[in-house]
Structure 1
Amino acid sequence: MKLVKNKEILKIISKSFDKKLTASEQEVLNHWLSSSDDNKAKYEGYRYLWEQAETLVSHDDIDVEAALLKTKAQIGDFKKKRFLQPAFVKIAASVALLLSIGLGSGYLLSDYGFGKENTITGFQQVEAMHGTNTKLLLDDGTSVWLNSGSTLRFPVSFGNEDERRVVLTGEAFFDVEKNMDKPFIVQTSDVDVRVHGTSFNVSAYTEDKSITVALVEGKVTLEKEQEGEVRQLAELKPDQVVMLDKESRSIVPVTDMKMKQFTGWKDGLVVFYGDSITTVAQRLGKWYNVEVDVEKALGDYRFTATIQNESLEQVLDLLSMSSPMTYKIIPAKLNEDKTFSQRKVILTTKKRR
C-alpha cells in the first residue's frame, strides 16, 4: 500500500470519528494504525480531543495535555517523539490550543522575484502579494520584512534626506540600521513610529480597527503631527507592545502576550496566544489569502497556537478536532473579468450527535 500523506490521514481520522469512512479509507486507516505505536498514540490523542470537544460547555476546564501524556504513557516508547500537544477550554475559563504544526504557504522573498515593485520618480514601492511575505534591503542597510497584502513606499536613496521616512500600509518588521543623525520614521495612516536603530514590528492594515507596534530591542516613539506640531504619544522599551485605537485615538499597552505573536510571521510562523476566534480568522485569512466567516456562537473561544509549514486544510482539521468547531471551504470562482475570487472558509459549531 502506498504511503499516505499527513494531510490525507488527518481527513481520514476526522471522518472515522463520525463513522463516515468508505471501505478503502478504513483500509488506509487500519494500515496506518498498524504501522507504528506512534500512530496509535496520535489516534488516541485525536479521539480524546474529539470526544471532549463534543461535550464541552461553558464551565468546563479540560486539561487535554494531561490526558495526552497519560495516553502516551499507556502506549509506551513515546518519550522521544514529537506530537501535537493541545489544551482546550471554554471562556469564561479559558481556551487554549497548543499545536506543534506548521505553515509553509507563503514565505516568499523579493530576492527570488516574488515582490511586486513600482518605481516612481525618486521613490520605490514594494508590495507583498496576498499569501506571501517579502524581504527587502533599503538604501541605508535597513532590513524590512513585508507581510501578506502589505505595501511599503520609500526613497530610492536616503542620501539627501534629513530623515529616513517610509510609508507603510499593512504589516512589516524592521531591523533598522543605526544612524543617530538621521532618524528612521515609519509613517502609517494614523501614527508615525520614530527610531534611530532598533528592531520592531508595525501592523497597520487599512481594514483593521487598531495599529499595533511591538518593540523587540532599542527604543521607539509614537508620534502624530497636529496643527503643524509633532506630538509624542508614547515611548516603548524592549518587549513592550501597544495598540492605537483608530477611532478613539487611545493607546493601550498589551500585557498578556508573547512577542512571537507579533514577530513570528517573518520567520514563517503564525502564533496565537489567547486570541479570539475572530483574530484567528483574520490572521489565517491574510496568511492563506482566504475569506473567513465565523458563526457568532464561536465568538467566546480563544486559542493559543504556533503554526508552521502546514496547509490551510491541515490547520482547520486540527482546530476542529480540538474544539466544537467544524468548517467548510468554498472554492474560488472565475469572475466575469477572468480573475478568480478568494476561497471562502465558513466556521460553524459542530452539531451534537
Structure 2
Amino acid sequence: MTKDKLIRFLNNRCTEEELQEVIRWANTEVFSAESKGWVLSDWNTYREERNIEDDEKFGSVFDKIQKKIAVENIKRQKQKGRKQMLVSWLTRAAAILLLPVMAFLFYTLSEIAEIRAGASQSASAFLSVDSLEIIAPIGSRAVVQLSDGSVVHLNYGSRLKYPQTFTGNTREVVLDGEGYFDVAHNPEKPFIVKAGELNVKALGTAFNVSVYSDSNAIETTLVNGKVVLERNGSEQSSKVIGCMIPGQHVSYNVKTGIMLSSKGSVEKYIAWKDGKLIFDETAIADVAEKLGRMFNVDIEVEDDIKDYTYTVTFEDEPLFQILDLMTVATPVKYNAMARTKLPDGTFSKQKIVLRRK
C-alpha cells in the first residue's frame, strides 16, 4: 500500500483492483509500523506548516470539502459512464486529511469487531464486513447516495450505517440521530430504517426520522408515499403498529410505548436539511434541546420560564444571535458559562442557562 493509492481512494479515483487492495490493507495492515509512521509524518508536517489563518479557516474548508464530495458523488451516480473528477486542489486537501481518515478506519474496524462479537444481540448485526458508516460532524450536515440510488441527508451529529451493496430481500440501514430519506422505488425490496426500537419500512418514499440516543422519543414524518412502522420484539420479531399517510407526523415514546400522531404541514420537521430551523408554538425546552444538539452545547431552562413558546424561523444563524433574538421576543436572558478543563486535557461542553429577566 502507498500513500498515493490512499489519496486516489479518498478522491474516489482508484480502480477496482486498488479498492480491493485498500480494503485488504484496512483489514490486515492498518495497524502496521509503516501505517503508524504515515500518521506521525503527516501530523508533524501539518504542525510545521500550520498557521493562525489556517486554524481559523480549517473548519469551513473541511465543510466545503465534505459538501463537494457529496455533490460529486450524487452527480457521478446520476450520469452513468461519466467520471466526475474532483478539482486538483482536493488532492492536496485529501493528503492533509489522511490522519483523520486513518483514525476513522481504526474506529470502523473496532466497530466491526464489536458487531461480530455481539451479533446475536446487536440491532445492526445484519451489517456485513463491507458495511460503511457516514457521520455528520457537529455543526455540519452530510448527504450520501446509497447503492440503490436512495439519497439520505444527515443532520448535525448524526450517523448512518449501511452496506456497500444491498443484498437479500430488503434494504436495511441503521440510523442514530436524524435523517431525511428519499428512497428509490423498488417494490421487490422494502427499504428499512432501523431506528432504535422502531423499524420504518418503505418502498419508494420521502420521509424524516429522528432517533437521538439521549431522547425518549422516536419521530417519523412522512412527506410522500407510504411507510409502515414496526416495533422490534424479542428474538428479532417485529410487530406492525401503524401505517402513515403523507403529511403525518408520529412521535413514539420509548419509555411508555405511547404513540402520538398529528397531520398538517411537514415543513417544520424537514426544513433542517436546507439549513432552516422552524419553530411553531414550540416550547422553550424543546427549542433549547434542538439548539443544544445543533451547536453541541448544554442549554438549561429554569422552571419559571418553561411555559414560554416561540414561533420563528432561523436560517443558518449562529447560536448567540439566536439567543439574542429570543431575549428580544420574550422576557428571558441567558448566561454562558466558561468551559472547564477536564483531567485528560480536553474541555467540557459549554453550558448556557436561560432564566427570567
Structure-1-length-normalised TM-score: 0.65
Indicate the residue corresponding to 1:342 in structure 2.
Answer: 349
**Residue 199 of structure 1 aligns to which amino acid in structure 2?**
A
Indicate the residue corresponding to 2:118 in structure 1.
Answer: none
- CA separation in 2, counterparts of 1:243 and 1:182? 26
Indicate the residue corresponding to 1:239 in structure 2.
Answer: 247
Q: CA RMSD in A?
A: 2.3
Q: Which has a greater percent of helix?
A: 2
Unaligned runs of 5+ in 2: 1-59, 71-99, 113-128
Give the 3-state SS of the residue equivalent to 2:204 in structure 1.
coil
| Residues 108, 133 of structure 1: 8 Å contact kept | no
Indicate the residue corresponding to 1:184 in structure 2.
Answer: 191
Q: 2:324 aligns with which of 278, 297, 317?
A: 317
| Residues 222, 248 of structure 2: 8 Å contact kept | yes
**1:77-96 superposed matches below 5 A:** none
- CA separation in 2, counterparts of 1:295 and 1:202? 29
Indicate the residue corresponding to 1:139 in structure 2.
Answer: 147
Q: Residue 142 and residue 237 in structure 1: after superposition, are their counterparts in 2 closer, same or farther (change >3 A)?
A: same
- CA separation in 2, counterparts of 1:241 and 1:109? 34
2:292 matched to 1:285? yes
Indicate the residue corresponding to 2:303 in structure 1.
Answer: 296
| Residues 109, 134 of structure 1: 8 Å contact kept | no
Give the 3-state SS of the residue equivalent to 1:187 in structure 2.
strand
| Residues 131, 286 of structure 1: 8 Å contact kept | no
Q: Residue 152 and residue 216 in structure 1: after superposition, are their counterparts in 2 closer, same or farther (change >3 A)?
A: same
Deviates more, 1:309-318 or 1:233-242: 309-318
Q: How many Å apart are 1:232 and its aligned residue? A: 0.8
Q: How many Å apart are 1:108 and its aligned residue? A: 6.7
| Residues 111, 136 of structure 1: 8 Å contact kept | no
| Residues 123, 156 of structure 1: 8 Å contact kept | yes
**Residue 265 of structure 1 aligns to which amino acid in structure 2?**
W
Q: Deviations over 1:291-334 (max 9, x none)?
A: 10111111111111110121111111111011110011124344
Q: How many Å apart are 1:254 and its aligned residue? A: 2.5
**Which aligned segments of 4 or more residues in structure 1 are displaced greater than 6 angstroms?**
106-109, 113-116
Indicate the residue corresponding to 1:223 in structure 2.
Answer: 230
- CA separation in 1, counterparts of 2:182 and 2:64? 18
**Residue 245 of structure 2 aligns to which amino acid in structure 1?**
K
| Residues 197, 232 of structure 2: 8 Å contact kept | no
**Residue 152 of structure 1 aligns to which amino acid in structure 2?**
L
Give the 3-state SS of the residue equivalent to 2:344 in structure 1.
coil
Q: Residue 293 and residue 107 in structure 1: after superposition, are their counterparts in 2 closer, same or farther (change >3 A)?
A: farther
| Residues 146, 172 of structure 1: 8 Å contact kept | yes
**1:143-158 superposed matches below 5 A:** 143-158=151-166
**1:255-270 superposed matches below 5 A:** 255=263, 258-270=265-277
Task: Figure out how many residues of one structure are paired with residues of the other and give that number.
Answer: 244
| Residues 109, 135 of structure 1: 8 Å contact kept | no
Give the 3-state SS of the residue equivalent to 2:187 in structure 1.
coil
**Residue 285 of structure 1 aligns to which amino acid in structure 2?**
G
| Residues 109, 133 of structure 1: 8 Å contact kept | no
- CA separation in 2, counterparts of 1:309 and 1:129? 16
Unaligned runs of 5+ in 1: 1-103
Q: How many Å apart are 1:111 and its aligned residue? A: 3.8
Q: How many Å apart are 1:131 and its aligned residue? A: 2.1
Q: Deviations over 1:47-95 (max 9, x none)?
A: xxxxxxxxxxxxxxxxxxxxxxxxxxxxxxxxxxxxxxxxxxxxxxxxx
Indicate the residue corresponding to 2:3 in structure 1.
Answer: none
Structure-2-length-normalised TM-score: 0.64
Q: Residue 108 and residue 285 in structure 1: after superposition, are their counterparts in 2 closer, same or farther (change >3 A)?
A: farther
Q: Which has the higher contact order (CA 8 A, sep 6+)?
A: 1
Identity %: 34
- CA separation in 2, counterparts of 1:277 and 1:109? 35
- CA separation in 1, counterparts of 2:343 and 2:216? 32
Give the 3-state SS of the residue equivalent to 1:254 in structure 2.
strand
Q: Residue 301 and residue 108 in structure 1: after superposition, are their counterparts in 2 closer, same or farther (change >3 A)?
A: farther
**Residue 305 of structure 1 aligns to which amino acid in structure 2?**
V
